[in-house]
Structure 1
């Protein structure tokens, strides 16, 4: 497995997480167990000293004769020989009642001490010592009696416990990580199956979907979201294919005309007047090509998130009137009139807004019969400004309305333009301009009237 695979492996990551959790759990339990056992081990020397002393105390305090002390001394020597951990001392002014090797280090270590203390003599292991005082009795003067026990064995036991806990903890962490990785592999098996199924989805199989019926509940939501994304990709892919075909069609027609007219003109000598007509016709086709290219560049810029920046507060009714003056010749040729109703003020980029109005009105003129009246309605409602261009015309089927603002989309599947100036991008530009202003577009068709327009949000305080 490569480093990238190790980094990207969810199973490995889960295994590491299992190991970390196991490490934390084992460390906590091991620490608590060690503290408890250490406390118990620390109490054992003290308990053993007290037990030994409780047996010896009656004999030590019962008789003060040298003979009795000699018998006790022999008994203590036997105990020390049987259990090498034990050691006994007796300190007295009378040499007959002394026991053990008493040097200056021992005297300094117990000077002023009583009860149970820790003692470390040079050349000896650490010891715990019980110090008791016996008053004078018969021939015995006052005496200090010491019982010592070697604590190194208890420290060794603590060390062995610590090593055992560490080894068992490490083994537990390793087992937890291995088992965690194995469990994660089993748990992620449905996800790997989904991944393999998803890798098989590619054009032209975009209509296929992941099957989520047999998947765990945690993956069903992912499958649903992935299938929704596939549906959007399929729609976008279909639109892209249609867009490519439309672009090719729109560019091919003027190019074909240019090539055909030029070839005909070059077949034999022509008059200057004929060449002028050919050049004039070619110029019209070139203007059409430039218009298509400019519109496509504008839409590409809008797709990249361009926004209207030079916003000014503008009344819309005068803007419509200015646009109508620009379209006066087109309205006259089409023999249609325009009525403007209402007004509202909104922040817009004037040049873009006029371009959207021209496209909306031009679209309405193209589909309005001679003698018809186009209405431009402007109203402010619920914090929004709505501009609608309404023209009489044939009813547009419901399934077409949602797509009329798409590029190159026409209700007529033949894609033929109704005029040389119409290349199917007008309403798409209207939609782009609306989005650049943070607004939206709409299309309606009912009762013999078709309504196309824009909706812009405005500040309610304005």
Structure 2
């Protein structure tokens, strides 16, 4: 990948930018500390040199107080000034015979200041002089004078400037080098992630059986690959269920549509009596009712899948809701020649219409698999913050492999059995599960002791859904 094709939000570029910021911060801190230390050292050098020169001259200056002897001192000062052009001397006093250096008014005013090390700025020079001011007491014919020894700081300032330029230049070079090396290191470090990305791009429907390799991966990438593989497992399962769901939907819709088309075509082949047309229309109406029921159930499940929750909750007796549902199913129970016993009761916050729909589906499921003359048991229990409604019907045991799937849409233990008749289209238990989840509950099923039990658990107290 060339620089021109690197996206602006590339991780490699972001890491490179972080490297640049870190390098810049380090160089600024180190450069500032180094510059301050050198600046402090450079500031001490002229003061040390002035102290050393003054200590050599001090004994001579304080030993002679006649003009003849001071003439010799002046010659020595001239010689020292010639040897080192950076050094300048001034002697300021009340007697011109004991002055040196032709002090100007600016120098005379400066000499009247405090003794010690100070900076003197001369108009003809761009850099200050570091000047040591000392008081020499009167001696012989010489009155008290001020002795000034100064050193030009130009070389020190130039050294300081050169150091600053070098530090800034090295910092810029270091930052540029850190950016290039940081980008290179980031690209190398992200190669395993790029390999995982290429592997992931090869995984697409309908082939979802492949998985990312987790061998020899860094711990962070291995964790990511494991999570991605787990997500693929869920997607693969959902994709398989979706394919089966689509096939089941097509099958369930095809049967009533085929019946509608067939009956209508037969009725139109030749003239029929009004009574015959009435029978055809009545039969078509039943098939249309089946279609509407399937479509309504599918729309309800789609709404539940989008996170719909039961909101119009009322505290109600579950035994009373079961009794109301049994009254509604009275003719169905009578035709199937089965009876229902109800035991227990509990209070729970429910959406009445939805719970009754779930109870109808549970009881219909039990009626369809109960032999005439047998009894269906409904047990209502409360405990651990939940209430449960269990509907048990006598019948042959269901294989354990089928139990976790019985609440899936269109799932049938006997795949060869259509169950298209009788108004059953394979969505009843799926709707029960959706209603339980809308109430913040769950469903359960078990097959043991010659009975198959389907039910749901709901919170016994209102909760945020």
2:25 counterpart residue number: 24
Quote the Cα distance in structure 1 between the aligned partners of 2:393 and 2:417.
22
Q: How big is the shift at 1:60? A: 1.2
Quote the Cα distance in structure 2 between the aligned partners of 1:299 and 1:396.
25
2:438 counterpart residue number: 436
Q: Normalized against structure 2, the TM-score is what?
A: 0.96
- Assess, with a 3 A threshold, how the Cα gap between structure 1 residues 347 and 3 changes in structure 2: closer, same or farther: farther
Superposed CA offset, 1:124-183 (max 9, x none): 331111111112222222221100111232222222211111111111111112111111
Quote the Cα distance in structure 2 between the aligned partners of 1:415 and 1:429.
20
2:261 counterpart residue number: 259
Superposed CA offset, 1:181-239 (max 9, x none): 11111111111111101100011220111110121222111111111000000000000
Number of aligned positions between the proteins: 461
2:67 counterpart residue number: 66
Q: Normalized against structure 1, the TM-score is what?
A: 0.97
Q: How big is the shift at 1:3? A: 8.7
2:407 counterpart residue number: 405
Correspondent of 2:145 among 143, 146, 166: 143
Contact 2:92-2:111 at 8 Å conserved across structures: no
Q: How big is the shift at 1:308? A: 0.6
Cα root mean square deviation, aligned: 1.6
2:77 counterpart residue number: 76
Which consecutive residues of structure 2, in runs of 5 or more, have no partner in the other structure? none
Work out whether 1:180 is the aligned partner of 2:189.
no
Contact 1:441-1:455 at 8 Å conserved across structures: yes
SS in 2 for 1:122: coil
**The 10-residue stretch of structure 1 (210-219 or 259-268) with the greater mean CA deviation from structure 2:** 210-219
Quote the Cα distance in structure 2 between the aligned partners of 1:3 and 1:391.
71
Contact 1:383-1:460 at 8 Å conserved across structures: no
Quote the Cα distance in structure 2 between the aligned partners of 1:78 and 1:318.
124
Work out whether 1:250 is the aligned partner of 2:252.
yes
1:29-428 aligned within 5 A: 29-124=30-125, 125-417=127-419, 419-428=421-430
Quote the Cα distance in structure 2 between the aligned partners of 1:340 and 1:290.
32
Quote the Cα distance in structure 1 between the aligned partners of 2:3 and 2:66.
87
**The 10-residue stretch of structure 1 (37-46 or 155-164) with the greater mean CA deviation from structure 2:** 155-164
Superposed CA offset, 1:278-336 (max 9, x none): 10110000000000000011111111111111100000001100000000010011110
Quote the Cα distance in structure 2 between the aligned partners of 1:308 and 1:189.
49
- Assess, with a 3 A threshold, how the Cα gap between structure 1 residues 202 and 388 changes in structure 2: closer, same or farther: same
Which consecutive residues of structure 1, in runs of 5 or more, have no partner in the other structure? none
2:12 counterpart residue number: 11
SS in 2 for 1:399: coil
Correspondent of 1:450 among 447, 452, 456: 452
Q: How big is the shift at 1:4? A: 9.1
